[in-house]
Amino acid sequence: MFASINRRTFAGAILAGVLMSTVSPSLAASQGARLFTFASEKDEIVAALTTDDAALGDDVAAIGKALQDRGSLTVWRYAVRKAKDGELEQAPLARISIQAEGNLRVEPYRTPLRVVPVE
pLDDT digits over 22-73, tens only? 333 333 344 468 999 999 888 899 999 999 898 898 899 999 999 999 999 9
Model-level pTM? 0.71
**How many domains does the structure of the chain reveal?**
1
Closest CA to 67 of 87, 82, 81, 53: 53
Q: Which amino acid appears at position 33 of this protein?
A: A
Write the Ramachandran bin of 114: left for phi over 0, alpha for psi from -120 to 50, otherwise beta. Answer: beta
Please give the residue range of the domain that contains residue 47.
2-115
